[in-house]
Amino acid sequence: MKLLSILLCVSACCACHAQMVFEYEILDKELPPETELYEFEFPFEVKDATEITEVGIDCSCTKIESPKVGDKFDAGMSGKLKGLFDSSSKNGEYTGKIKLSTSLGRKVLTLKFKVNKLITLGRLTSFLGAKKEDEIRIKTYYPSSLDNFEISPADHASAEIKKASDDGRSFSILLKNKGGLEKREKITLTYTFDGKRREFAIHAMPF
């Protein structure tokens, strides 16, 4: 009788977990520095007819767009849990949980994001006038280096790394007016950061 109870319990647990089968239950991503809102998804297949009864998150930075409470799925259907992650106030490593409850059980999905942002410590507007140069400071939250440094438009201004901190977390960039800058203009600095080509834009203004 005791063995029968155990078998019934195991069978019931298997039925609960068989309702929705996810392609993966952990999403592990490194987000580019320029990311503000990241769209994520968890594809799934429905093995047993069920209804969503609760969708829980543990951080206001995460929003679930679908499925919604009350959504019903028949056996054999497929779908995606879709959401948005707001990384604007995040730096470093983030781990969050999504708790999806249905009429047959509950599933816990995990979000693991590495947010690697570059933040300007100086002003976003550079003033290039009589001195014809201005210093812009950039800080990164991970030790790294800036390589293959380029500037656009190249005929209006130039840029070079003046110095870098010993720990590789901050850089001082010297921006120079080559005489072509006559009005407020967007200057784009393109560089290689952690092996990837990225951009950093500021507004330059003569005075």
The reported pLDDT for the residue numbered 178 is 77
CA distance 163 to 166: 9
Is 3.20.20.140 the CATH number for 22-115?
no
- Contact (CB, 8 A) for 143 and 166: no
Mean of all residue pLDDT scores within the chain: 78
How many Cβ atoms sit within 10 Å of the Cβ of residue 85?
23
**Per-residue pLDDT band at 23 (split at 50, 70, 90):** very high
Is 2.60.40.10 the CATH number for 118-205?
yes
In sequence order, the β-bridge partners of residue 161 are 173
User: Given this chain, do its domains 22-115 and 118-205 carry the same CATH topology?
Assistant: yes
Q: Which amino acid is at 90?
A: K
What are the domain boundaries of the chain? Answer: 22-115, 118-205
pTM metric for this prediction: 0.55
The residue with greater pLDDT, 33 or 21, is 21
What is the average pLDDT across 88-105? 88
Reported in sequence order, the residue ranges of 67-184 that DSSP labels E, i.e. its strands, are: 72-73, 78-86, 92-102, 106-115, 118-120, 125-127, 133-140, 146-152, 157-164, 170-177
pLDDT tens digit string along 74-90? 999 999 999 999 987 77
Task: Calculate what percentage of the chain has a pLDDT beyond 90.
Answer: 36
